[in-house]
Amino acid sequence: MIKIREATEGDNDALVELQKKCPQGTSLILGIDSSPDYFARSGPFKDWHVFVAIENDIIVGSAACAIRDTYIESREFKTAYEYGFIVDPHHRRKGIAVKLQEHIEHIALDNNTDLLHLDIAEDNLPSINLFSRMGFKKVKDCTTFSLMPYKKQKITRETNIRSMEKSDVDKVTSLINEMYHDYNFFTPFQTRDFIEYVERMPYFDFHNILVFEDNGGVNACLGYWDYNKVRKYIVQRFNWRLKAQTFLIRLIGLFTKMPKIPKPNNPLLSYNLTTLAYKNSENITELIKHIVNMAIENEINFLHIPLDPESQIAAVLSQFMHTKIKLHFFIKSLKQEPPNLREKKLYIDISEI
């Protein structure tokens, strides 16, 4: 008999061990270790819930959701973002994921939620099939840009770059709000909201947000989140196509600088980019170069940022060596006909990937 309940702090170690049994990916298989704090991944959210599936007093599955108010097509909606679905490989084909999903939907309805949403990598066919059967509809494709730091970048205006201070909050929030005001799933920041957002993110503070200052104004901002402190990713194996690509990169690397691809059993290190906004592309390019140089010094393999492929920042990121992961954005309406998400660009916060 499978029972679903809300997770407690006492479940931490069991969830960490369960996650280690559930590697992610298809072309690149990664083992995951969230020790010492499994719940740190949920820290950026204000109202979050982690659930566990229990069989014979053993945790055999888990899933989570975060509930918030946001704007879609200029109307306010209460939404629940779903994440963290894992099922013990020895307990699959028992309907555990379905039971977890049904429980999340009950909790969402109890909280007067209008809409559920989640994102799935395009090659994750089992998850796509599962959530499609559960009534989710794919409404948009989005992309995670993964920049590959390997070559020192020349910065022309280094003196204009500094870490953000609390006195910059109004300027930074205005910049972010102006850039994303017409994006779906974007909630404008008030000063206090932004401070709380930064404070909730584990291993992140104002020092992690860089600003480009010119003539007394903040013209660009970009944060880097050391996600390795939240979750550790260990390379387990590659598929044949990625093996061939990796071999070619390493071969070329004998003659010129190329990105370093970790070998199996080695950690894959990344920064997640966030709070990105700007007035002109030259300023944000300088900030990206600065973080690329920091990443090289710290032997970081990737800089990740999810975005709508129609976003103006895509053209800026494309100047740097990168790879892309296509994500399908799914929604399920709990109350009414779902809103049209195809007309406007989609805002994706890094905490929701």
Mean pLDDT of the region 236-251: 59
pLDDT of 154 > 70? The answer is yes
For Cα atoms 346, 351, 353, give the angle at the middle one, nearest 5 degrees.
Answer: 70
User: Confidence band (pLDDT; 50, 70, 90) for 248?
Assistant: low
C-alpha to C-alpha distance for 150 and 349, rounded to whole angstroms: 26
C-alpha to C-alpha distance for 72 and 59, rounded to whole angstroms: 36
What does pTM read for this prediction? 0.92
Q: Is 65 helix (H, G, I), strand (E, B) or coil?
A: strand
Q: What sign results for the dihedral spanned by CA atoms 101, 201, 351, 332?
A: positive
Domains of the chain: 3-141+327-352 (3.40.630.30), 146-232+259-325 (3.40.630.30)
270 token code pair: 């990344």
Residue 316's CB: how many other CB atoms inside 10 A? 17
Query: Residue 342 — left, alpha, or beta (φ > 0 → left; ψ -120 to 50 → alpha)?
Result: alpha
What contacts 58, CB < 8 A, 6 or more positions away?
A: 14
287 token code pair: 């900030």
pLDDT of residue 250: 57
Q: For residue 134, with 0-12 CB atoms within 10 Å meaning exposed, 13-18 middle and 19 or more buried, which class applies?
A: middle
| pLDDT per position as a tens digit, 17-30 | 999 999 988 778 89
C-alpha to C-alpha distance for 289 and 292, rounded to whole angstroms: 5
